Amino acid sequence: MFVALRDIRFARGRFALMGAVVALITTLVVFLYGLTGGLAADSSSAIAGLPAQDVVFGAPQGATPGVSFSNSSVSAAQQSAWESAPGVGSVSPVGIAMSRLTTAGSASSVSVLGVPAALLPPLTAGTAPGAGQVAVGQKTASADGVTVGSTVTVGARTLTVSGITADRSYGHAASVWTTVPTWQQVSGATGPSALAVDPGSADTAALDRAQNTDTVSRGSALAGIDGFSAEQGSLQMIQGFLFVVSALVIGAFFTVWTVQRRTDIAVLKAVGASSGYLVRDALGQALILLLGGSLVGAGVGLAGGALLRGGGMPFVLGAATVAVPVLAMVLLGLAGAALAVRRITSVDPLTALGANR
Amino acid sequence: MSTVTLTTGLTLRDVVLTYPDGDRRLTALDRVSLSVAPGELTAVVGPSGSGKSSLLAVASTLLRPDSGQVLIAGADAGALSPRQATALRRDRVGIVFQQPNLLASLTALEQLLVVENLRGGRARAAHGRAERLLASVGIADGKQYRRPHQLSGGERQRVNIARALFAEPSVLLVDEPTSALDHERGAQIVELLADVTRDYATATVMVTHDRALLDRADQVLEMVDGYLG
């Protein structure tokens, strides 16, 4: 990269400008990536954190079951059939409903989950809820001034807080946890919304056919949360567009840069440089630009993300938040640059001798 | 005209080169034969369009003739693949361009070191040799660290010559080296070319239309309409 490094040093203004563009796009992608992850967690962490391999959705006899927590309802007969099926490891009912939690002086939207104690998130204080009791997340407890032993109203039912759990949420509402019978009283439902199962060696497809249920992995079950797929799909589409834009911008820059360097390229070819040498040199230049720009952009994105998260915005800060956007920017940018610098191969060294004279 | 075959210089035998020109072909080189021995400066003069640049293009392997033979340091350029021809040009042929064609981002010293780099050598190891070569053509006292826009026209042409010599070529091809210079500086450049031809024992071919600068040439040939005589 003898020429590449010296070109960057010589045309530092142009490369700084282009590096700033790469940095800005990377910052935007890191923001989006962190927000996408944060919104996903805000929408689904109660389900994603369930200690179960699969989720079984049910439908009344004659209706077609589908992956939707809102539409799903598992009957006692279906639950019993799954529990007694040979080879099934474990079956736990899960009830989900949206409601309102009211304390003295405050009210907030919550998702109410009715589950056995084994499916509860980790308790940080108190005990698992029994009949007429509820466990709330740390943020809810802190925001509403709730402690173990406090009385809260969930929907129309008054419940006693038995414990404080790690924070989980469903459908962008903080989750509170209670038993399935208490959940039925709060929600008015006659049976659980779904079953959390460890299928063991059971033939789940055969069980689904026999019981009119639909079994999917826990990860696939997230699509059953209202709005989850549309929300994530929109954000991921914007990320994709940004990656395409970055590749086009890098490609356009190196197209112009290569055209401007045609005389230099012709001279280098005339004095014996191979096209391979020149292409490697140009791609090395693109790699330096992309790495420099994307790492600066990722740093800015992370710092901005930390500020957003401090302000209460859902934002996931992690290795993937940086690594995926940086890697994608570098790879797609290199692809754009490769399309541009292939023009090097068509430069005729004869032009260095003034072949147009 | 000499047709003696040289093993280390430059030999062209009955070279014919034509270009498409509408429905017919234009003959740029018509059975051109030329031999230049190591340490010999041959000047080729002629008007614009007479075929001088085509002669250099063929002699530098940048163009393959329709027929005839081009021998560079004993190697038959016509028998080489494009990759081999590039390697031959890199290792055996030095080109002094009409315009210095120096790379704007490189200092005078780096214009030479890039030649070492593209030959696969270590630029740092060649630093001393490049400085000595530049000094021998009059680029010293800090001028070797200047970029092209910080040098005069004559100095740029001297760097151009040093770059062509850096790979220690057998053949030095010089294209109108004084066209952008005044008479005095042009004469100095031709003097320098004559000196380096002796000192580096290159077979040098210089094409020019300036007949006032030919007294240092060992052999002067005239080119008219593709004929060399």
Q: Please give the average per-residue pLDDT across A21-48, as a whole number.
A: 90
CA atoms within 13 A on the CB side of A152: 33
Check residue B171 and give its pLDDT.
93
Check residue A246 and give its pLDDT.
83
Nearest chain B Cα distance for residue A15, angstroms = 13
Mean model confidence pLDDT for chain B: 87
Report residue B139 as tokens. 């680029």
Torsion of CA A4, A7, A9, A15, to 10 degrees: -90
Whether A1 has its CB under 8 Å from any CB of chain B: the answer is no
Q: B96 falls in which pLDDT band (50, 70, 90)?
A: confident
Check residue B5 and give its pLDDT.
46
Q: Which residue has the higher pLDDT, A357 or A143?
A: A143
Whether A12 has its CB under 8 Å from any CB of chain B: the answer is no
Cα–Cα dist A8/B36, whole Å: 42
Q: A107-125: per-residue pLDDT in tens?
A: 899 999 999 999 999 999 9
**Cross-chain CB nearest to B106 (options A6, A277, A357):** A6
Q: Could you tell me which chain A residue has the CA closest to the CA of B50?
A: A357
Q: B142-194: per-residue pLDDT in tens?
A: 999 999 999 998 899 889 888 988 888 899 999 888 777 778 778 888 888 88
Rg (chain B; Cα; Å): 17
Check residue A62 and give its pLDDT.
74
Q: Do B118 and A10 touch (CB under 8 A)?
A: no
For the entire predicted model, the pTM comes to 0.77
Q: A305-344: per-residue pLDDT in tens?
A: 889 888 878 888 788 888 888 998 899 889 988 888 888 8
Domains parsed from chain B with CATH numbers: 10-228 (3.40.50.300)
Predicted complex ipTM: 0.86
Q: Do B97 and A353 touch (CB under 8 A)?
A: yes
Q: Which residue has the higher pLDDT, A7 or B125?
A: A7
Buried b (16+ CB within 10 A) or exposed e, A115-128: beeebbbebeebeb
Work out the number of other CB atoms within 10 angstroms of the CB of residue B225. Answer: 12
Chain B residues with CB under 8 Å of a chain A CB are 48, 53, 56-57, 60, 62-63, 83, 86-87, 89-91, 93, 95, 97-99, 101, 103-106, 110, 113-115, 117-119, 123, 147, 163-164, 167, 175
Cα–Cα dist B208/B22, whole Å: 29
Q: Could you tell me which chain A residue has the CA closest to the CA of B106?
A: A6
Nearest chain A Cα distance for residue B65, angstroms = 14
Report residue A7 as tokens. 């070109």
Q: A133-160: per-residue pLDDT in tens?
A: 999 999 999 988 899 999 999 998 999 9
Q: B174-188: per-residue pLDDT in tens?
A: 988 877 777 877 888
Report residue B225 as tokens. 């309409």
